[in-house]
Amino acid sequence: MNVSPSTYAAVEAARSTAAAAAPPAPASGNDDAQVRQAFSSFVGQVFFGQLLKAMRKTVGQPAYFHGGRAEEIFQQQLDQILGEKLAESSGKTFSEPMFALFKLSRR
């Protein structure tokens, strides 16, 4: 196949422009840290959130000190914050094995 010099120059110019415009590849350590954070967030929001929700269902409402619908709404927000705090303190127990399995599956 015969390629003219002007075509070859245009292709090379396009390659160099694309290489310059491409974002640099993220460092592996930074990527791992982001994925670890995502797993930790997942554990906090899903696992501990569902755990607290199930625990609240097993306890009945008190006869005299129930705050009504407002308490139910704010209780969900409190459970969300508690789930995040539990994930920060002991979430690695769950998220680290999940992360290790995830990394094995990506190889």
Q: What is the pLDDT of residues 21-68, one digit of tens each?
A: 444 444 466 788 888 888 888 877 888 888 888 998 898 877 788 778
CA-to-CA distance for 21 and 15, rounded, in angstroms?
10
In a domain? residue 98: yes
Would you say residue 9 lies in a domain? no
Task: Give residue for tokens 């290489």.
Answer: 19
**What is the mean predicted confidence (pLDDT) over 85-105?**
84
Q: How many domains does the chain have?
A: 1
Is 72 within the bounds of a domain? yes
Q: Is residue 3 part of a domain?
A: no
Residue span of the structural domain in which 85 resides: 27-106
Query: What is this structure's pTM?
Result: 0.57
Residue 29 or residue 85, greater confidence: 85
Identify whether 75 is part of a domain.
yes
Specify if 71 maps to a domain. Answer: yes
Whether 18 is covered by a domain: the verdict is: no
State how far the Cα of 46 lies from the Cα of 35, in Å rounded to an integer: 16
User: Has residue 6 been placed in a domain?
Assistant: no
